[in-house]
């Protein structure tokens, strides 16, 4: 007969294995569904099994020969930087090196990768331990972004650079068309601050000219100054939007001035 203490230990170990909610850990991947979301025909399933296997899952399967997705993630990161660089080179022919570098950083950072992973619904295919599956917030998002890079690495090895490039460009076009990611930086205030400092002007100063309308539907008008000179007036439903509008007009004026010199 088991003692109560031994029985509790056995139950605890069993819960660790099958998860707190009595769910069995995922035993495999629906490759037919995966091919549909990736829009890619898989040749080597083992590569994609590895790409979706978080290191926590190794504890579940207990195979010393199994490999998590970390090596494919490393490869995918390198491939992604090359593809994004080429994409921006051809899509933004008038942008200089510094601007291209800044834009690329927006497309390869963790936030962008999370958006791409969510768009592909990669969470539905991840192989995780029950404990890792319960990680909240940023921890789970990091796992997702790593999985996207690993999937890209798998596509690169499975189908070559051409297929990897087609995959990334499809993903980018989807999220850009949805407005989830933007090709151009629309933070006009930060752009204005950067440009004004680059040409030795004063810091931008935003002054609220007026606030009209009832509390639930107010309209703000803001004027932006560089030194004592006004560079633009913007209108918005809140101060932030009005300041962004004013900054956008100031940037247009600065660029016009530069083109006339």
Cα separation, 212 vs 7, in Å, equals 70
* Catalytic residue status for 119: no
Instruction: Supply φ then ψ for residue 229, to 5 degrees.
Output: -100, 135
Q: Work out the angle at residue 176's Cα, subtended by the Cα atoms of residues 174 and 179, and round it to the nearest 5 degrees.
A: 110
Q: Are strands 219-226 and 204-212 parallel, antiparallel or unpaired?
A: antiparallel
What is the CA angle 92-93-94, rounded to 5? 95
The interaxial angle of helices 239-260 and 188-198, nearest 10 deg, is 40
For 176, the 3-state DSSP assignment is helix
CA dist., res. 18 & res. 15, Å (int): 5
* CA separation, residue 67 to residues 8, 18, 31, 42, 53 (Å): 32, 21, 19, 19, 8
Among 50, 149, 158, 223, the active-site one is 149
Radius of gyration of the chain (CA): 25
Catalytic entry in 70, 77, 86, 119: 77
Q: Tell me if residue 30 is catalytic.
A: no
Please say whether the dihedral angle defined by the alpha carbons of residues 105, 109, 111 and 112, taken in this order, is positive or negative: positive
Do residues 250 and 190 touch, judged by C-beta distance below 8 A? Answer: no
Active site residues: 77, 149
């Amino acid at each position: 007969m088991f003692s109560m203490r031994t029985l509790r230990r056995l139950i605890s170990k069993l819960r660790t294995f099958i998860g707190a909610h009595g769910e069995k850990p995922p035993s495999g991947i629906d490759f037919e569904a995966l091919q549909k979301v990736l829009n890619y025909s898989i040749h080597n399933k083992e590569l994609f099994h590895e790409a979706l296997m978080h290191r926590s899952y190794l504890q579940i399967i207990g195979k010393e020969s199994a490999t998590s997705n970390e090596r494919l993630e490393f490869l995918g990161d390198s491939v992604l930087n090359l593809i994004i660089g080429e994409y921006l080179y051809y899509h933004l022919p008038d942008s200089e090196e510094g601007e291209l570098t800044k834009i690329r950083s927006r497309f390869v950072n963790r936030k962008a990768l999370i958006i791409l992973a969510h768009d592909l619904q990669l969470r539905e295919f991840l192989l995780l331990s029950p404990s890792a599956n319960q990680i909240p917030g940023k921890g789970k998002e990091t796992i997702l972004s790593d999985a996207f890079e690993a999937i890209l690495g798998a596509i690169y090895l499975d189908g070559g650079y051409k297929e990897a490039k087609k995959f990334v460009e499809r993903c980018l076009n989807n999220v850009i068309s949805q407005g989830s990611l933007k090709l151009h930086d629309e933070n006009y205030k930060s752009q204005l601050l950067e440009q004004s400092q680059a040409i030795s002007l004063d810091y931008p100063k935003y002054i609220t000219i007026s606030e009209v309308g009832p509390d639930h539907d107010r309209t703000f008008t803001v004027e932006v100054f560089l030194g004592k000179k006004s560079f633009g007036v913007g209108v918005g439903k809140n101060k932030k939007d009005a300041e962004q509008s004013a900054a956008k007009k100031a940037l247009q004026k600065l660029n016009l001035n530069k083109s006339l010199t």
